[in-house]
Chains A and B, each alone.
Chain A
Amino acid sequence: MAGLANSQELDLVIGGFLRRLPRLDPIIREITEGTPLLLKLELKDPPLAAEIDLTCTPLVIRTDSTAAGTVGMAGRSEDFQRVLLGLLPVAKGINEKKLLARGSIALLMKAVPLFYVVPYIYPSYLESIGRADLIEAGEYPPLHADQPVEGIMNQIISALAYGAGYLMGFIKKRIAPRLDILAALEAMGQGLRKAGPPHQV
């Protein structure tokens, strides 16, 4: 895999991705159950410090702050890149001490599902900025234990979401390679927000 050579490049690639997250604010709040947490990411070799601040609406991304955060994840940039790609599941990263977590477990467990979702959008983001070279070929392990979807309504919505995802993937791969997946997710987020009040924070 081509590496991220220096802090500048890291900021452009991973920092750039994080700075797009506010577009997905409603979806991220659903994933984190509206928890007002401040996730601090501390990368090294090369270094980058970033915060995903969910204490305000819409969420704010900072890459220039020294705040400690309510919860944190630290690790080498290369390993974090593999987390974003889905090549390094969070549990494996923690168990192998490639990811060092910090802070309240309850809040961390609210933040961790973000890393289940990100691998589905990060590769298309890399393609969109012309850095497909960073997408590593290989076997992608499951991101977390398969959990049965409970409840008929959840099953119906999951099936519809799967269908929509399949359709987007089909169009992107076969018809319109420049299809903006983030824009589609952003539209879904707007729909979520329109349907009801956002989580109280």
Chain B
Amino acid sequence: MPILGRERAREWETVWATLTRMDSLFAADPEGRGLSGMLSNLRGFLLDKFQKSDAGQPAVWYNLGFNPELIWALGVVPFCVSELAALSSIVGDQADTEAFIDLAESKGYSADCCSADKAGIGALLRGLYPEPACLVGINTPCDSQVAVVQAMAEQRNRVPLFVIDVPPYDDERTFRQVAGQLRELIPFLEKHTGRRLEWDRLRKVCETTNRTSQYLWDWMEWRSRAPTMQPSKVAAFTMVLMIGFSGSRWGLEIARALAEDARRKVETGARYFQEKARAIWYQDPVWWDIQIYDWMEAELGLVIPMDIFGYYASEAWIDTSSEESMLFGLARRMVNCHPMSRQFRGTMKRYIEDFMVLHERFQADCGILAGHIACKHSWGGIGLFKEACKKADIPLLVFEFDMFDPRILTYKELQFELKRFVEEMVLPRKGRAKPGAEHGRVGE
């Protein structure tokens, strides 16, 4: 299916055609309004990128831990290098994502790297993004990012690269240090894109981000109610939103669609399955087939009210009163609110604390650590995490899988793990819990 009347790479056309069909399918059903709102704004976002790229506007490539507000404010086109691989998995053909992964590995990139990065590198190797004016690399949200930044630099070795180095701390000094790097990034971007940053434009972009933040907080509030009415399969979208859409009107509209859908579902109260157990999904979501969340709900009564990719911390507000405060706000948000960047730098303390907060706030019965095989930071601290859950008497399921590659743990194997955990561990414990503890911490 051509996009804007022009033939594109097959992978982009597949994503576009699938999005169009999904939007048409789900728009017809009132229960699908939230999903349809997300899909139509995703289409708008892609259309805008293609339009601008076709018009010859400069593109800036970046990796997973960066948020694109500065790029939007310059009026140039942001491309996260893992974007197409992720879209292919979530709203396209999963086989394309796997082909990207295989290509990266066949060219010598380490199989131990994260599949999000390997798939991103595969898309780079295939030349599927418009040529960049410059590159922005960042060492968050995880260690694998160093590999993808290196790959970007190798793939486009004549294109200037700016690297943001985020320290492994989460204090004010860290935010100021990163804000200083963003200050240095501005003339770099101006020089290579030929655009001048207008601070008023950045202010508007930051205000859009703030409105988006408010919707995300509202969304979390609606999802925290038990029973959770909005499907589990949309619990992880904050991460996608921050990486690709931060500061754009499409991001704002997607957050609004999510929040309003969650509110409407609570208010109408229509239930299609019986909620039996609530889990905090504390690692990467099953992007390769998000429909498995429907199976969890329908067959196991298992609900994921929130996961680590969906959690949006309260430090995201950007003070737009001055240049300094905006850069500080952007830095703090990128370092302390971006899912994973927040939990996966430095010690395991925040990782564990956030889990406990989510478990309490979202009235969970258990935790599920879907252990993405490349997440060395979480595997490295697994002993501490297990110990903390044991101390708090929270049942925890831990298994190895890959968020973009079902060849590591298959659909059937995943079903087996979840079914066994819920039916043999969580539900019997809930049955033994004292009255009134249905949605609380089991055994407390």
Contact = CB atoms under 8 A, between A and B. Distances in A.
A193 B298 CA distance: 41
B111 to A, nearest CB: 23
A96 B291 contact: no
Given A90-B25, A91-B26, A96-B31, 19 more contacts: A68-B412, A91-B28, A95-B32, A97-B272, A100-B291, A100-B294, A102-B295, A102-B411, A103-B94, A104-B289, A105-B18, A105-B92, A106-B17, A109-B21, A109-B25, A144-B24, A144-B25, A145-B25, A145-B28
Given A96-B272, A106-B18, A89 B294 contact: no
A90 B289 CA distance: 18
B356 to A, nearest CB: 30
B316 interface: no
A142 interface: yes
A112 interface: yes
Given A94-B294, A109-B18, A145 B24 contact: yes
Contacts of B153: none
A97 B297 contact: yes
B91 interface: yes
B26 A95 contact: yes
B319 interface: no
Nearest to B91: A105
A200 to B, nearest CB: 15
Contacts of B27: 145
Contacts of A68: 411-412
B95 interface: yes
B63 interface: no
14 contacts: A74-B295, A92-B31, A101-B291, A102-B292, A102-B411, A104-B94, A105-B92, A106-B17, A106-B92, A109-B17, A144-B28, A145-B24, A145-B27, A145-B28
Interface of B: 14-15, 17-18, 21-22, 24-29, 31-32, 35, 90-95, 231, 272-273, 289, 291-292, 294-295, 297-299, 411-412
Contacts of B15: 106
Contacts of A114: none
A184 to B, nearest CB: 27
Instruction: For the complex of A and B, list the 6 residue pairs with the smallest distance between their C-beta atoms, beginning with the closest.
Output: A106-B93, A95-B31, A109-B21, A97-B298, A91-B29, A145-B28
Instruction: Tell me if B's interface is mostly helix, strand, loop or mixed.
Output: helix
A102 B92 CA distance: 13
A181 interface: no
B303 to A, nearest CB: 12
Contacts of B92: 104-106
B22 to A, nearest CB: 6
Contacts of A102: 289, 291-292, 295, 411
Contacts of A74: 295
Interface of A: 68, 74, 89-92, 94-98, 100-107, 109, 112, 142-145, 147
B18 A91 contact: no
Contacts of B231: 95
B292 A109 contact: no
- Residue from A105, A112, A143 whose CB has the most chain B CB atoms within 10 Å: A105
Contacts of A109: 17-18, 21-22, 25
Contacts of B17: 106, 109
Contacts of A98: 272
Contact of A103 (B22, B31, B289): B289
A193 to B, nearest CB: 24
A105 B90 contact: yes
Nearest to A98: B272
Nearest to B97: A104
Contacts of B289: 102-104
Contact of A92 (B24, B29, B93, B95): B29
Most chain A Cβ neighbours within 10 Å, of B28, B272, B273: B28
A101 B32 CA distance: 15
Nearest to A95: B31
Given A97-B272, A97-B294, A102-B291, A91 B93 contact: no
B182 to A, nearest CB: 36
B42 to A, nearest CB: 13
A112 B289 CA distance: 16
A91 B32 contact: yes
A188 to B, nearest CB: 23
A103 B290 CA distance: 9
B311 to A, nearest CB: 25
B90 A89 contact: no
A74 B289 CA distance: 15
Contacts of B35: 95
Contacts of B94: 103-106
A95 B270 CA distance: 11
B415 to A, nearest CB: 10
A89 B93 contact: no
B22 A100 contact: no
A107 B288 CA distance: 13
Contacts of A91: 25-26, 28-29, 32
A105 B29 CA distance: 18
Nearest to A147: B24
A25 B67 CA distance: 49
